[in-house]
Amino acid sequence: MSVYDHGFLYGDGVYETLRVYQGTAFQIDEHIERLFRSAAMIDLSIPKSQGAIKRAVYATLKANRHKEAVVRITLSRGEGPTGLDPALCSSPTFVIMSHLLRPYPEKYYKRGVKIAIVKTRRNYDRALNPQIKSLNFLNNILAGIEARKEGAVEGIMLNYKNFIAEGTVSNVFLIRDGVLCTPAVRAGILDGITRGLIIECAKELHMKVKEGRFRKEDLVAADEVFISNTTMEVMPVSTINDTIISSRPGSITKKLHRTYRKKINEYIKEGGGKR
């Protein structure tokens, strides 16, 4: 890759991350569709069809002999002279890479993790639309630095109105009186694919789901809290800053994770995301 690639110089591009189970890229169609959506929102043309990208993902996995892995699809504006004008780049750079899955420690799922509500705010949604899964992650990186200084696994950002938005690499859920609650998209979040599947699982379990606006006080007063993304799935939370939520995962969190895992097994068995 060129040092003049605008993804390197300016973070001008989009990406997707997929988890691979038993050689099957989970929800690959949904991830590729979101890649096209993100690209369209920054006026970036993808030089391949959705089918071609899917075949390329599986070719990468085969070449690397990966069965339990994480795949990243990256699309940048491409090589061009320095300057912010997209027209400086004649063609985009397209990269697929995979690496073996490095599982989170088992103790995280048995005991829960510490998260921290940080001071760094989520980008204002009218400055940078959160529906764009962008290569520019500095906002999240700064929030992550804050979280690590507090000894937390994840940092939770508020939006400019002080409502809970999302984590640096995750969506956040809370359970209160049996109701599954999560910030709505309008709170300035990326509508995570895993988030959507967890909501689907909850509805199948006949749980009430509330997507809305929540304060940090709602989070620390919750009966159960968990975070989610493609690689962590459903991660229980034990502590928020200095407030202990629970010493072990709650029953609803565990039930949702079991249902989520069932969805994965069904997807593999039914040949989901066929090449």
Q: Where are the beta strands (DSSP E) in the chain?
A: 13-21, 24-25, 69-76, 93-100, 113-117, 154-158, 164-167, 171-176, 179-183, 209-212, 224-229, 233-240, 243-244
Residue type at 122? R
Helix axes of 28-41 and 193-204: crossing angle, nearest 10 degrees: 130
* Other Cβ atoms closer than 10 A to 91: 11
> Looking at the annotation, which residues are catalytic?
133
Whole-angstrom distance, CA of residue 225 vs CA of residue 244: 11
Q: 93-104 burial by CB neighbour count: b if 16+ within 10 A, else e?
A: bbebebeeeeee
| CA 133 to chain CA mean position, Å | 9
Cα–Cα distance for residue pair 157/154, rounded to 1 Å = 10
User: In the chain, how long is the greatest CA-to-CA distance?
Assistant: 57
In a 3-state reduction of DSSP, which class is residue 264? helix
